[in-house]
Structure 1
């Protein structure tokens, strides 16, 4: 633990670890997590962060002096937000505080109030003890690596400390922002569902912030809801609300099986990612959910393009007639690419879905993603065909996909580790007995094989981990196990220092 924590220095000196400035989000431990991760931020540091953020937005990015702020449902998040607001006001920013909200709720407020900047206090799916800020200087856009690097340097060098304000910032609290966001979603989707039959939906939010939003939206649109742990509880007593977490997803499988629901939806801690369980109680990785939605949109006349991240199934390129554009993994990257190429939608395997007008505003919103999926399922039900999600998935070519495995690798070493493993595999002509036909270095290394199977190894953008994912197109999943064995051999032969990761046999 940092020696500033639990000392008088904690209240006098800014604590702000440089590693908290990540590729496109800022994220630190602010309270002890119990796993040995050092505390990297205190409230003096948060105020300092707010001061520099306001000056950076207004003076360096010319983004104006108005900003929306909000916070997620954790015991300390309001305190973090309040400290951030003090710094923003000190910088001369005019702050509109929307209080407790989801991340897409904060993005929506930018549009509703015509405010360019946003700072959402959330650690998303990270364990308790973590906090962070998602920052945007334009609508439907969050900081990318260039902005984050510049902001990190600006802040860590203390460049705003000696500058003078031209005016004092103002503060407004918007108590109606939550209702306005919910009502806006209901109003914009009512016509699409008009005349369509409804289905039964199991909803799990893992006691996170989305429990205050998603059930209300669905009920107002006429869906029968089977609620899981939707009451907010900042201790997260059952599991961490992460749509890539197997325990979280397994709980929704039980909810679907026990209720006879037509689909199960699980929302992450700040409401911008969606996990899905089909009508048979089977976990569905988000890249396949995005694919069936994309096929539905094509059937309704959309001609793409569609954006996908490097963790996604290779079936997008064979199953869609539209152009497919690859992007680095990360909500900021995919969101930016959707805007850049004018995509109908973007899909990220972690559960971020981005829908452009008229379905959405281009940012990641799990409620909008859920509504797009339900629109597809209800439309199919209206035609008397088997419109179940399991049926639509069964129509796709069969493959075997691994979970999103994340062995520990420190923030200081994880990119070097990926480079060493990439160099190892780049010398290979085959993997798991299959010829390597393409290597993508957009984000880490993605090895693509002659039968469309693939392996991805990359560094996590927002936590001290690697990300290891693979997909195989053989008849029994043997290739997936062979890939797994070769990854373990590569780790051993290169001598890289990473934590344990479960074998595929343990899932």
Structure 2
């Protein structure tokens, strides 16, 4: 970014994080300013930073550290790591944190996920708006204020083994039966973390694309797109594996396929993990965002727990985890949150729970998850629209005359009947409406889906 006059960072600062194209939208100078603004806004006197394998990540992370240290914060750099490893460091060191990653976005992107000490979220309503305002002011030429504390230090620390040990202390996988698991790291950070976590577990890991490469030479590190798990599905079948795991670029999300190479929905994974944790913590609260399957709250109630429905997005769910003291939370996008992991999301811990569940009984994964896949689901369908607000209003007006319909606007527009429901919500980053439909059967699903899409 060369022209700083009248800087507007609305395209860079999202609802939960900072994310944009390098260097057009995010460069080292802006990263330095974000480091300074983070300290001024949060008052943090100690910060832990980490970064993924993207070519631009090390320099951006170091610039952030310099900006934070100049404002008096001591910075601990843990270097290459997954996002959930950064959350672990923030929690165990009780320090604020900053992770440099653009998650599943293409190689030209990068970004910053920030948290307060103990991995507490930083979003628009919890400091990110104020951070953006300061960075815009300073990037436009306003002089940074004098630091309130002496220059801070910058040091390095490796926490990978501690991270692995902590995860393994939360799930007993020592007695699982021998399993063969194909893992697709997508050239992302699970190529570093999976070997550390799985090395002492009695399973055989068949690696796919474990080389750390932020240019993503094989496929995008976004398993939510079915095209990006094709290699994993094929390898599971060819290797006659018991299951497959796919992680996104920063390895905070985990996707599962069964022994047939069929995708296990994140809702089914949420229900499976909820069942395991409710067995250990009877009567606990479990969170699910409003796009997860109806199966999730049904299973939680059947097992004596309390389901709580939330908006989409990690900053909202982490806040609800704290407010409700929930033992666990799951999202349709394969983010999984654990009370014992600082209320933060970790795909690796979710993967260990699935491994433990599969390995503690003799049947295949497909049979194990049958009870948790009770409805037909569309998956997320994106539609480009000129005016999301008008489109939402048109859909609401069209369906308002349907019988037995319930209208809910917790996050976008959710319309439901006993036989089906759908949610239509605007993207936080693009001119899109995201549609998710679930119904009792495939025919009803297709009818409702096509009816909504025709309106869009």
| TM-score using structure 2 length | 0.92
Distance 2:80 2:8 in 1: 24
The question of whether the paired residues in 2 share the 8 Å contact of 1:203 and 1:228 is answered with yes
Q: Does 1:85 align with 2:65?
A: yes
1:29-87 deviations in Å (ceiling 9; x for gaps): 114xxxxxxx32232222222222221121xxxxx311111111101111111221221
Counterpart in the other structure of 1:51:
36
Q: Give the one of 37, 53, 68 matched to 1:73.
A: 53
Distance 1:303 1:490 in 2: 42
- Compare 173-182 and 330-339 and name the one that shifted more: 173-182
Q: Give the one of 353, 358, 370 matched to 1:394.
A: 370
- Compare 99-108 and 177-186 and name the one that shifted more: 177-186
Q: Give the one of 314, 321, 330 matched to 1:347.
A: 330
- Structure 1 residues 21 and 276: alpha-carbon distance in aligned structure 2, compared to 1, 3 A threshold: same
Gaps of 5+ in 1: 32-38, 59-63, 492-507
Counterpart in the other structure of 2:104:
125
Counterpart in the other structure of 2:196:
216
Q: Give the one of 222, 243, 247 matched to 2:223.
A: 243
Any idea what SS the aligned residue of 1:391 has?
helix
Q: Across the two proteins, how many residue pairs are aligned to each other?
A: 450
Q: Give the one of 162, 169, 174 matched to 2:151.
A: 169
Distance 1:181 1:288 in 2: 26
Q: Does 1:472 align with 2:442?
A: no
Counterpart in the other structure of 1:490:
455
Distance 1:488 1:397 in 2: 25
Distance 1:44 1:137 in 2: 22
How far did residue 214 of structure 1 move?
1.5
Q: Give the one of 18, 21, 24 matched to 1:26.
A: 18
Pairing 1:458-469 to 2, within 5 Å after superposition = 458-462=425-429, 465-469=432-436
Any idea what SS the aligned residue of 1:380 has?
coil
Distance 1:254 1:430 in 2: 44
The question of whether the paired residues in 1 share the 8 Å contact of 2:358 and 2:368 is answered with no
Distance 2:101 2:84 in 1: 12
1:201-230 deviations in Å (ceiling 9; x for gaps): 111110011110013311222221111111
- Structure 1 residues 199 and 422: alpha-carbon distance in aligned structure 2, compared to 1, 3 A threshold: same
Q: Does 1:443 align with 2:406?
A: no
Counterpart in the other structure of 1:195:
175
Q: Give the one of 9, 18, 23 matched to 1:17.
A: 9
How far did residue 15 of structure 1 move?
6.4
Any idea what SS the aligned residue of 1:489 has?
helix
Distance 1:483 1:379 in 2: 39
- Structure 1 residues 72 and 464: alpha-carbon distance in aligned structure 2, compared to 1, 3 A threshold: farther
| TM-score using structure 1 length | 0.83
Distance 1:421 1:189 in 2: 45
The question of whether the paired residues in 2 share the 8 Å contact of 1:66 and 1:94 is answered with yes
Larger % of strand: which?
A: 2
- Structure 1 residues 47 and 464: alpha-carbon distance in aligned structure 2, compared to 1, 3 A threshold: farther
- Structure 1 residues 326 and 189: alpha-carbon distance in aligned structure 2, compared to 1, 3 A threshold: closer
Distance 2:143 2:424 in 1: 40
Gaps of 5+ in 2: none
How far did residue 463 of structure 1 move?
5.1
The question of whether the paired residues in 2 share the 8 Å contact of 1:436 and 1:447 is answered with no
- C-alpha RMSD over aligned residues: 2.3
